[in-house]
């Protein structure tokens, strides 16, 4: 018997394409892969050392307390039981890195002395100068790879960031500068209040309208606190972007989609723990093997190695783990920016400025002269006619 037409029809299979159903998932998973690349971690490690040196110099000049800055080159310690004694060390989460960047601001507000404010301002200048370049390079490479599925060359990324380095720094300092400018008014009134008898009355009366400036100061502070990584992403992603584009986009995405931003931060916190634990296991296991081999050949343990190189050798693994936290911070910021931009502006992930340097064009070839009839002159005829025109008659010598 032949099969009926109904039996021969193939039943279609229905499957869920999770990458299309959840467009944020590829970005979230890819952010871990990009963040623990050796080049990214080594760049962040070098920037961490430079930052620590700059903070030590500022502390030596102004004599201010730098409590908390020692944590820049060491990650947050979270000891926990692990088999074979290979307990992975903790890594900094995005919120911890965010606190590191803004620690000078919090310290200056908590202890407003002249030396403390001078130290905070000088340290913030160094932090902005260093990490605007490093963060720009990392976010540029992350945005290009996440959006276009192509790896951005280091040379092109560095050239683009160098051209927009000033804009990246201004996108962070302009809101902060506006805060300082507004703060001049209560500062002047504070000096005015020192006048005996009438000073407190006049200063108190003038402080009534000045207090309402807290709305503007709070708005600028919120843009600086919550939007500074997004402004860096905007400047290295959009075509011809400058500091104003970075500030406007970061403010719009932060205040128009606060719930989406909060969800992205929560997801980044969880993924940073997963990626950091895996990297910590790798680094800790490798270091334990090297340490055991050194202890077998030496009379002392590497942990008690009494040499100037001992602290440096023991601090390499914590430095790399701290560098991973910063690397993931900028990579996760790039993923968050692409998600917020798609949600607010409906822009696709691959809409990235692929700026290429203009190449010098070759000189144009000379056009052949055509006769009145429009037919091209053969090459042999043209060369012979040119030769005839160039040759001089013999009687010209007379």
pLDDT of residue 236: 93
As a whole-number percent, the residues of the chain with pLDDT over 90 amount to: 18
Residue 332's pLDDT is 92
pLDDT tens, 225-243? 777 889 999 999 998 888 8
Q: Token pair of 61, please?
A: 């000049």
**Helix/strand/coil percentages in the chain, nearest 5:** 70, 0, 30
Q: How confident is the model at residue 396 (pLDDT cuts 50, 70, 90)?
A: very low
The pLDDT score that the predictor gives to residue 224 is 76
Predicted local distance difference test score (pLDDT) of residue 174:
83
- 91 or 122, which is more confident? 122
The pLDDT score that the predictor gives to residue 69 is 45
- pLDDT more than 70, % of the chain: 72
Whether the per-residue pLDDT at 297 is higher than 70: the answer is yes
Compute the distance between CA of residue 249 and CA of residue 231 in angstroms, rounded to an integer: 7
Tell the burial category of 332 from Cβ atoms under 10 Å away from its Cβ (0-12, 13-18, 19+): buried
Categorize the per-residue pLDDT at 73 as very low, low, confident or very high, splitting at 50, 70 and 90: low
Q: 224 is written with which tokens?
A: 């600086």
Write out pLDDT tens, residues 7-65.
555 666 655 555 565 667 778 888 888 998 999 999 999 999 999 888 888 888 876 55
Look up the pTM and report it.
Answer: 0.76
pLDDT on residue 15: 58
> Tell me, what's the pLDDT at 27?
82
């Amino acid at each position: 018997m032949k099969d009926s037409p109904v039996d021969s029809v193939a039943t279609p299979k229905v499957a869920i394409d999770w990458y299309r159903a959840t467009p944020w998932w590829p970005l979230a998973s890819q952010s871990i892969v990009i963040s623990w690349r050796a080049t990214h971690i080594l760049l962040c490690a070098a920037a961490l050392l430079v930052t620590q040196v700059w903070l030590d110099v500022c502390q030596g000049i102004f004599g201010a307390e730098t409590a908390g800055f020692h944590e820049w080159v060491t990650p947050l310690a979270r000891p926990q039981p692990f088999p074979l004694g290979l307990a992975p060390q903790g890594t900094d989460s995005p919120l911890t890195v965010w606190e590191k960047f803004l620690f000078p601001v919090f310290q200056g507000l908590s202890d407003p002395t002249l030396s403390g404010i001078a130290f905070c301002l000088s340290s913030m200048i160094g932090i902005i100068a260093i990490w605007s370049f490093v963060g720009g390079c990392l976010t540029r490479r992350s945005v290009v790879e996440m959006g276009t599925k192509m790896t951005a060359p280091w040379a092109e990324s560095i050239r683009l960031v160098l051209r927009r380095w000033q804009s990246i720094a201004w996108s962070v300092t302009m809101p902060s500068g506006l805060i300082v400018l507004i703060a001049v008014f209560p500062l002047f009134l504070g000096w005015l209040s020192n006048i005996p008898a009438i000073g407190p009355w006049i200063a108190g009366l003038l402080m009534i309208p000045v207090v309402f400036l807290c709305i503007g100061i709070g708005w600028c502070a919120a843009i600086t606190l919550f939007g500074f990584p997004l402004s860096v992403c905007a400047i290295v992603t959009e075509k011809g972007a400058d500091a104003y584009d970075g500030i406007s986009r970061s403010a719009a995405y932060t205040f128009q989609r606060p719930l989406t931003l909060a969800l992205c931060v929560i997801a980044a916190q969880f993924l940073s723990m997963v990626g950091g634990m895996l990297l910590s296991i790798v680094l800790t296991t490798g270091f334990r093997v090297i340490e055991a081999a050194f202890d077998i050949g030496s009379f002392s343990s590497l942990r008690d190695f009494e040499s100037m190189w001992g602290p440096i050798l023991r601090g390499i693994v914590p430095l790399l783990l701290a560098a991973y936290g910063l690397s993931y911070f900028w990579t996760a910021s790039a993923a968050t920016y692409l998600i917020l931009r798609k949600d607010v502006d409906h822009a696709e992930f691959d809409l990235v400025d692929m700026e290429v340097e203009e190449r010098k064009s070759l000189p144009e070839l000379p056009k052949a002269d055509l006769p009145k009839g429009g037919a091209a002159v053969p090459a042999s005829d043209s060369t012979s006619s040119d030769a005839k025109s160039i040759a001089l008659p013999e009687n010209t010598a007379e």
